[in-house]
Amino acid sequence: MLVPTTIKTLIDEQLPTDMRAFLHSAGECAESNGFRLFLVGGMVRDLLLGRPSRDPDLLVQGTDLTMNGASDLADLLASALGGEVTSRSQFGTAKLNVNGFDTDLITARQETYSLPGALPDVTPATIEEDMARRDFTLNTLAADLSSGSFGDLIDLQNGGDDLEQGTLRILHDRSFQDDPTRLLRAARYETRLGLHMAPDTEAAARRDAEYLGGISGDRIRHELERIFDEPQPELALGRAEDMMFFSYLLSTLEWGPELTRAAQSLRESGYETSPMLFLALLALPLMRDNPEALMTRLNAPVSWAAVIRDTYALRVTLPSLSVENIQPSTVYVKLAGLAPEAILAWSALAPYRSVRGLLLSFQMKWRDVKTHLDGDDLMSLGIPQGPEIGVVLQELLNARLDDVIFTREEEESFVRNRISSNEHT
Ligand code: CTP
């Protein structure tokens, strides 16, 4: 692949008509109001790679270099193109929705870091300065959107050469120290785009991996979330393990090859490998107090904490499933209420084949079994209102799970028999 000097043709060939029209109109509107506007980041990179890209990121440089550039231009675009500004931040960003797609506008800025891993101090800047604060050279490629030079590629950091050669390269030696989340981003880009870190970049990544220890749980979680959203998260997780990133995040954390194999075999067998399945797999090897430590390290919200906790709870429960001729209703009682991702993760990795089978049967079949009759039906059949209703519903469910009864009529006769046998005792 030879990187062209303009991506106008790629925009025309690869983007849907409404997105293309939006980029042209946005460029014209910006120009006539004294702004410089550029398409930046992932979309430029992905257009050059011929990969589908997500919503566009637009970089705004105002005439008077204030942090309001993006917000002011977003207002102008919203009224000119009939869209809506859906959010703005004090860091000079705004989100615009036009024709149903979201565009991020970013005021060109410089970033300085008071401490490694701290959030940056942000000041307005030129596009050249903005490009110099970014993570990797291939993310610094920008396309001019002004009408006279629409699509012209601006490559201030040799991103084009690196893209051509499949090289992921930081812009300066302290990049990972400034922002250690870039380490996890590197693992994600390498595996998603089939890149390799430049030798100097990889050496810096290994040297600076320890800085991961200093970043907040929320920031780690955000990067993990983005990895979990990848088509094959196990590749980025495996690469992060090769680079020892996990042990710096939390000493007990690791992503072994068996976890990669488990994810792949679940996917190949047609099970849904949802993002949270990868959290369950990451938590699966943890013992005793370690799940709590992981929740604390990630500042885990309720949904993450539930997956981590349930994955550990299952580790404790598994031996009790390893019983000959165990009834489905017994399995159900032990597993009901646990996060599906925890069950699916263990279904690939539990020590005994029989236990793995039970976990899958619960997940795919028994979890969804419902009785035909409900509490009202039981009352009309003669069960008095009160705790007995719950007891009988549970008995019905057990009988359904254990294939003792199947139909509504059989449930009704089960209840009638129960009432008459109680009357005789
Ligand atoms: N960026 C950075 N350092 C970070 C995060 C982001 O320099 N820690 C810069 C990168 O230049 C990136 C841009 O901010 O291109 C936007 O970041 P993000 O939204 O995460 O990337 P996208 O390009 O939108 O998405 P992706 O690369 O994942 O496809």
List the CATH number of the domain containing 244. 1.10.110.30
Q: What is the pLDDT of residue 116?
A: 76
Same domain, 380 and 333: no
Q: Verify whether ligand 1 is closer than 6 Å to residue 57 (CB atom).
A: yes
**What percentage of the chain has pLDDT greater than the value 90?**
88
134 lines ligand 1 (CB under 6 A): yes
In which domain, by residue range, is 244 found?
Answer: 166-249
Residue where one domain finishes, among candidates 346, 366, 386: 366
Burial of 93 (0-12, 13-18, 19+ CB in 10 A): buried
In a domain, 2, yes or no: no
pLDDT classification of 3: cutoffs 50, 70, 90: confident
Q: Which amino acid is present at 400?
A: R
Among residues 145, 165, 185, the one where a domain terminates is 165
The answer to whether residues 327 and 397 belong to one domain is no
Q: What count of other Cβ atoms lies within 10 Å of the Cβ of residue 336?
A: 11
158 and 208 part of one domain: no
Give the Cα separation of 283 and 281 in Å (integer).
5
Tokens of 193: 């785009």
Residue 320 pLDDT: 96
Is 117 among the domain residues?
yes
pLDDT (mean) for 352-364: 96
Tell whether 32 and 160 lie within a shared domain: yes
Whether the CB-CB separation of 305 and 341 falls below 8 Å is answered with: no
Query: Distance, CA 219 to ligand 1 centroid (Å)?
Result: 14
Ligand 1 probe mutation, 91, 134, 192, 201, most atoms within 8 A of CB: 134
- 190 shares its domain with 214: yes
Q: What's the confidence (pLDDT) of residue 53?
A: 84
What six digits make up the tokens of 54?
């997500």
Burial class of residue 380 in the structure, from the number of CB atoms within 10 Å of its CB (0-12 exposed, 13-18 middle, 19+ buried): exposed
Count of CA atoms in the C-beta half-sphere (13 A) of 55: 11
Residues 24 and 133 in one domain: yes
Q: Which atom of ligand 1 is nearest to the CA of 136?
A: 11
CATH number at residue 278: 1.20.58
pLDDT higher than 90, residue 84:
yes
Query: What six digits make up the tokens of 273?
Result: 């490998």
198 and 308 in a common domain = no
Q: Is the minimum distance from the CB of 56 to ligand 1 under 6 angstroms?
A: no
Ligand 1 mean position to 270 CA, how many Å?
Answer: 32
Q: Is 169 in the pocket of ligand 1 (CB under 6 A)?
A: no
| Ligand 1 pocket check for 139: Cβ under 6 Å | yes
Of 217, 249, 281, which residue constitutes the final position of a domain? 249
Q: Which of 42, 43, 5, 41 is nearest to 22 (CA)?
A: 43
Q: For 296-323, how does the pLDDT look when each residue is reduced to its tens digit (9 = 90+)?
A: 999 999 999 999 999 999 999 999 999 9
Side-by-side strand order, sheet with 84-89: 84-89, 93-98, 101-107, 57-61, 36-40, 142-144, 153-154
Q: What would the mean pLDDT of 390-400 be, rounded to a whole number?
A: 96
CB 307 within 8 A of CB 295: no
pLDDT, average across residues 86-101: 91
Decide if 172 is inside a domain. Answer: yes
Is the pLDDT at 424 greater than 80? The verdict is no
Question: Is the C-beta atom of 178 inside 6 A of ligand 1?
Answer: no
pLDDT at position 54 is: 79
Kindly give the number of the ligand 1 atom that is closest to the alpha carbon of 42. Answer: 23
Is 42 near ligand 1, meaning CB less than 6 Å away?
A: yes
Q: How far is CA 302 from the centre of its chain?
A: 16
pLDDT digits (tens, 9 = 90+) for 234-273: 999 999 999 999 999 999 999 999 999 999 999 999 999 9
336 shares its domain with 271: yes
Q: Residue whose CA is closest, atom 13 of ligand 1?
A: 41
Task: Answer whether 120 contacts ligand 1 (Cβ < 6 A).
Answer: no
Question: Nearest residue CA, atom 29 of ligand 1?
Answer: 42
Rounded to an integer, the average pLDDT of 358-371 is: 96
Q: Would you say residue 227 lies in a domain?
A: yes
Instruction: Please choose from 43, 46, 54, 57 the residue to mutate so as to test ligand 1's pocket, defined by most ligand atoms within 8 A of CB.
Output: 57
Residue 394 token pair: 């549970």
> 10-58, pLDDT tens digit by residue?
999 999 999 999 999 999 999 999 999 999 999 999 999 999 887 899 9
Confidence of residue 425 (pLDDT cuts 50, 70, 90): low
pLDDT band at residue 120 using 50, 70 and 90 as cut-offs: confident
One domain for residues 120 and 194: no
**Is residue 1 included in any domain, yes or no?**
no
135 C-beta closer than 6 A to ligand 1: yes
202 occurs within a structural domain: yes
- 260: in domain: yes
User: Is 120 inside any structural domain?
Assistant: yes
Ligand 1 mean position, distance from CA 41 (Å): 6
Nearest residue (CA) to ligand 1, atom 9 = 134
> What ligand 1 atom has the least distance to the C-alpha of 181?
8
Question: Which ligand 1 atom sits nearest the alpha carbon of residue 43?
Answer: 23
Q: Best substitution site from 44, 135, 163, 176 to test ligand 1's pocket, by max atoms within 8 Å of Cβ?
A: 135
223 and 360 co-located in one domain = no
Cβ-in-10-Å burial (0-12, 13-18, 19+) of 316 comes to exposed
CA-CA distance, 359 to 335, in Å (whole number)?
8
DSSP string of 309-365, one letter each residue: HHHHHHHHHGGGG--TT--HHHHHHHHTTS-HHHHHHHHHH-SSHHHHHHHHHHHHT
From the CA of 113, how far away is ligand 1's center (Å)?
Answer: 17
CA nearest ligand 1 atom 27, residue: 42
Q: What is the pLDDT of residue 117?
A: 73
* Ligand 1 pocket member 41 (CB < 6 A): yes
Find the length of the chain: 425
Q: Residue 64 has what pLDDT?
A: 76
Instruction: Find the CATH number of the domain harbouring 60.
Output: 3.30.460.10
Cβ 182 under 6 angstroms from ligand 1? yes
Please, which pLDDT band fits residue 289 given cuts at 50, 70 and 90?
Answer: confident
Spatial CA neighbour of 200 closest among 104, 251, 129, 136: 136
Residue minimizing CA distance to atom 25 of ligand 1: 42
Quote the number of domains for the chain.
4
pLDDT of residue 34: 92
19 and 157 share a domain?
yes
Whether 172 and 160 map to the same domain: the answer is no
Atom of ligand 1 nearest to the CA of 135: 7
